[in-house]
Homo-oligomer: A and B are copies of this chain.
Amino acid sequence: MSKKEKITDKRAALLNATLTLVNNHGFHNAPMSKIAILAGVAPATIYLYFENKQDLINQLYLEVKKSFSSCAFQGYSGELSVKDGFELIWFNIANYKLNQIKEANFLSQCDNSPMVEEEIRVEGLRHLQPLLDLWERGKKEEVIKPLSDYVLYAFSIYPLSFLLEMQERQTFTLNEELKAQTFLAAWDAISL
């Protein structure tokens, strides 16, 4: 294992420990000392990789957001039809949210509290551009409703966060068939 990998190792372990603790107990109740223990390093070591706790959270947010985005557009090409493109992206996101529960959960928590600094949050949004481009095209082709992107997102993608939350609390499960039916709700919401 190379030196570079070793370093990355500890950084990754710290990010992962933070993810777990914040998810299970919230930002408060995720003290640096416990993060260190769970990551298997000394408290002081955290400060070799991150400036301070806020920085650690910020970086984790960006990291997770990046993994989310890269997953969302896997296999996507601008040449697909609007509906096919949206379907691909939607299922990608749905699968991410339902499988990478820890990560999805963390993003929810960040997006609904002042935990992550505003500046960082904005940076995390840039990754959705291909979806916005797709919608732009859809509006021109009169396939998608002429609504603000915020509204389109709110009624097609954002609902998946709620379903994740329910699944996380074990009050609801989404199998493949249900997922397909659910997609139709999303599509009906935004399509003309």
Q: Which of A's residues lie within 8 Å of B, judged by CB? A: 23-29, 108-109, 111-115, 118, 145, 147-148, 150-155, 158-163, 165-166, 169, 171-172, 178, 181-182, 184-186, 188-191
* Interface of A: prevailing SS: helix
What residue in chain B is nearest A151 (Cβ atoms)?
B182
Tell me the nearest residue of chain B to A29, going by C-beta: B114
- Docked complex Cα distance between A143 and B43 (Å): 58
Report the Cα distance A165→B113, complex, angstroms. Answer: 10
Look across to chain B and name the residue whose beta carbon is closest to the beta carbon of A116. Answer: B26
CA distance A169 to B152 in the complex (A): 18
Question: With A and B bound together, what is the CA distance between A72 and B26 in angstroms?
Answer: 29
Given pairs A151-B181, A151-B182, 19 additional interface contacts (CB within 8 A): A23-B114, A26-B114, A27-B27, A108-B112, A145-B185, A148-B172, A151-B163, A151-B178, A153-B162, A154-B163, A155-B155, A155-B182, A155-B185, A155-B186, A155-B189, A158-B159, A185-B190, A186-B189, A188-B188
Inter-subunit contact A166/B178 (CB<8 Å): no
